[in-house]
Amino acid sequence: MGTTTYTPRQIRAFSQRFDIYKPVEIATVGKLAEGWHHGESPVATNVRGRIMGKSEASAIIEGAQRVGRDQMDTTDVIRLPIQIYGDDGTELRIAENWVIKLASGGYTENAAHYVVSGEAYQLTHRARERKHFLKRSVQSGGRPA
């Protein structure tokens, strides 16, 4: 049992807040995460973090010589504290297909939703943070399409 703690540097750097949902059912189509389903209530709320947009310049569309910037595959990265505790005090191990909903900047039902792609790819113990790859989800509700 515990609570998520932040270093002074994390408080300054992690300017966004997120709700985190444990996956119940996931269906993917190609590289897009579609038809995901999460529980009605998040397992952790108001978690500080930061999303960094990242475009894959090396992504090539089949049959095309040049790729326009608006057609590039994008994978975002989220920075979170190394230890995250749920609202019930249990430590969470965020992994593949967990859903992260942006809660800062005026919380609405149509807030941006992201699906975690895999385990944390970088754990930095000195900075006490973890990084996960994310894909933006096309669905904003709690039920599958």
User: Residue 51 belongs to a domain with what CATH number?
Assistant: 2.40.10
Residue 103: which region, alpha, beta or left (left: phi > 0; alpha: psi -120 to 50)?
alpha
Examine the pLDDT at 143 and tell me if it is beyond 50. Answer: no
C-alpha to C-alpha distance for 116 and 98, rounded to whole angstroms: 5
Q: Is 2 inside any structural domain?
A: no
Partners of 68 in beta bridges: none
Q: Looking at the domain assignment, is residue 58 inside a domain? A: yes
Q: Give residue 37's domain range.
A: 8-136
Stated pTM of the model = 0.71
Backbone φ and ψ for 88, nearest 5 degrees, come out as -90, 0
Comparison of pLDDT for 92 and 62, the residue scoring more: 92
What is the structure's pLDDT at 140? 47
Task: Give the total number of structural domains in the chain.
Answer: 1
Asked if residue 101 has pLDDT above 50, the reply is yes
Residue 113 included in any domain: yes
Q: Report how far residue 131's alpha carbon sits from residue 126's, in angstroms, rounded to the nearest whole number.
A: 14
Which alpha helices (H) appear in the chain, and where do they start and end?
8-13
Residue 17 lies in a domain: yes
Residue range 7-39, pLDDT digits in tens: 888 888 888 899 998 887 555 555 555 555 666
